[in-house]
Amino acid sequence: MSAQTRFILQEADLPKAWYNILADSPVAPAPVLNPITKEPVTPDFLSAIFPMNLIMQEVSSERYIDIPEPVLEAYKLYRPTPLIRALRLEKALGTPAHIYYKYEGVSPSGSHKSNSAFAQAFFNKEAGTHAMTTETGAGQWGSALSLACQFFGLDLEVYMVRCSYEQKPYRRVLMETYGAKVFASPTDRTQYGRSVLKEQPDSPGSLGIAISEAVEVAATSNGKKKYGLGSVLNHVLLHQTVIGEEALKQMDMANEYPDVVIGCVGGGSNFSGIAFPFLRENLKNGQRARLVAVEPTAAPSITRGVFGFDYGDSAQMAPIVKMYTLGHDFVPPAIHAGGLRYHGMAPALSALIDAGLINAVAVPQIPTFKAAVQFARTEGILPAPESAHAIRIAIDEALDAKEKGEKRVILFNLSGHGSFDLSAYEAYLNDSLEDYDYQVNPDEIVKHMPQVSIPA
């Protein structure tokens, strides 16, 4: 009899609450600082860009926050998502390890980003917001928020990192199909965008620049527009924990428990979404799963960056947070096709990594795409390049288990499909993809970080 490969929850099993890691974290959260005064932010400052209901989630210490019924109804389009055992990949690797993946690519927009997009659109609508602004890199967040705003009757402007705008035109088409207006960042629509273009007319853009433009538009709209963020802040990570809560139930269905839980990291949302509920089990219930965050060597904020207070955007308009950072002026190489390009890492996640509760590794993009192709040829799903970073380490873990002759249960988050990323796959298959190893000068990063009186 063949082993079961798919573990499917029923609609009634959909989590009814998001999990807030701040309730159980042994690491006290550092304050979020006003970028002008460098003092702890006030709700009034944050309310210029976020609605108050999301601000209250950001600072909440409640362990669980109920998911509103309209958001649950939107989730039912695709949740619960499947947990799948990668038997064909196991066989190809010849490993005794059991490899499971949580597949978030079944959402309408094709990634985990919908989990927060529907929530943010709902809470903005509830607060009386009429329009939103946001940034996007590879386009997964922009696609998700475009659909969510359409569902809840909000207009949306998306500032898309220029190199991704050019590399992935069909992501732009999808966003426009969902009703959003999409602009290649840096643009001439904002004061900051114009300043960047004046210094570098051919700027490839960065998430830091795109965030600055989206924040500027929201902050100067006299309250007419609010900003939506696809990762990094705690309310976003909170919304993603439906992934891990479902995965816990599904691993129970499989009569196994993961020895290692893996996810890719750019800003930290999909990794935190799957890992935080398992970290709760480590902290509260005696489990010992290793939690591994995987980033690219082209943007290695955790493994090579500095842990300290930095601006969340390039224009120094967004709040200052304590995080692993490559510097707010970091611009990723245009040759990097694997996404995960943000200069920093989620503050809550950064603190847990610094405390040794979560491990981090960086991988080059050619081995990452090699793993992606092997996964596609065995499991049939073309993974998003971002997700492929998690696949690389899952395969490495399985091969290590093979070498040591031990059974190992591996769980990773396949955070989205790669159907809009075929140009990157084409470059890999044609041997024109290049590795990039970002060389970090910590002293140079520190030199440009804000000077704050609160101990770093």
pLDDT digits (tens, 9 = 90+) for 363-377: 999 999 999 999 999
What is residue 331's predicted lDDT score, i.e. its pLDDT?
78
Average pLDDT of the chain? 93
pLDDT band at 176 (very low <50, low <70, confident <90, very high): very high
Q: Is residue 283 part of a domain?
A: yes
pLDDT band at 1 (very low <50, low <70, confident <90, very high): very low
Highest-confidence segment of 298-302, 378-382, 439-443: 378-382
Q: Is residue 381 part of a domain?
A: yes
Q: How many domains does the chain have?
A: 1
Q: Is residue 209 part of a domain?
A: no
What is residue 437's predicted lDDT score, i.e. its pLDDT?
87
Bigger pLDDT: 451 or 271? 271
pLDDT digits (tens, 9 = 90+) for 278-306: 999 999 999 999 999 999 999 999 999 99
pLDDT band at 341 (very low <50, low <70, confident <90, very high): confident
Nearest CA to 360 among 333, 340, 331, 374? 340
Question: Looking at 217-231, 269-283, 331-345, which range is the least confident one?
Answer: 331-345
Nearest CA to 313 among 213, 164, 227, 444? 213
Q: Is residue 251 part of a domain?
A: yes
What is residue 28's predicted lDDT score, i.e. its pLDDT?
84
pLDDT band at 381 (very low <50, low <70, confident <90, very high): very high
pLDDT band at 2 (very low <50, low <70, confident <90, very high): low
Lookup: tokens for 365: 């993009």
**For residues 303-315, average pLDDT:** 91
Distance, first Cα to last Cα, the chain: 57
**For residues 338-349, average pLDDT:** 86
CATH number of the domain bearing residue 435:
3.40.50.1100
Say if residue 267's pLDDT is above 70.
Answer: yes
Q: Is residue 20 part of a domain?
A: no
Bigger pLDDT: 360 or 336? 360
**For residues 172-186, average pLDDT:** 96
Question: Looking at 26-30, 93-97, 269-273, 376-380, which range is the least confident one?
Answer: 26-30
Say if residue 315's pLDDT is above 90.
Answer: no
What is residue 178's predicted lDDT score, i.e. its pLDDT?
97
Q: Is residue 178 part of a domain?
A: no
The boundaries of the domain holding residue 302 are: 6-13+68-110+235-448
Say if residue 7's pLDDT is above 50.
Answer: yes
Say if residue 163's pLDDT is above 90.
Answer: no
Q: Is residue 427 part of a domain?
A: yes
pLDDT digits (tens, 9 = 90+) for 194-227: 999 999 999 988 888 898 999 999 999 988 999 9
pLDDT digits (tens, 9 = 90+) for 401-429: 999 999 999 999 999 999 998 989 999 99
What is residue 207's predicted lDDT score, i.e. its pLDDT?
81
Share of the chain above pLDDT 70, in %: 98
Q: Is residue 195 part of a domain?
A: no
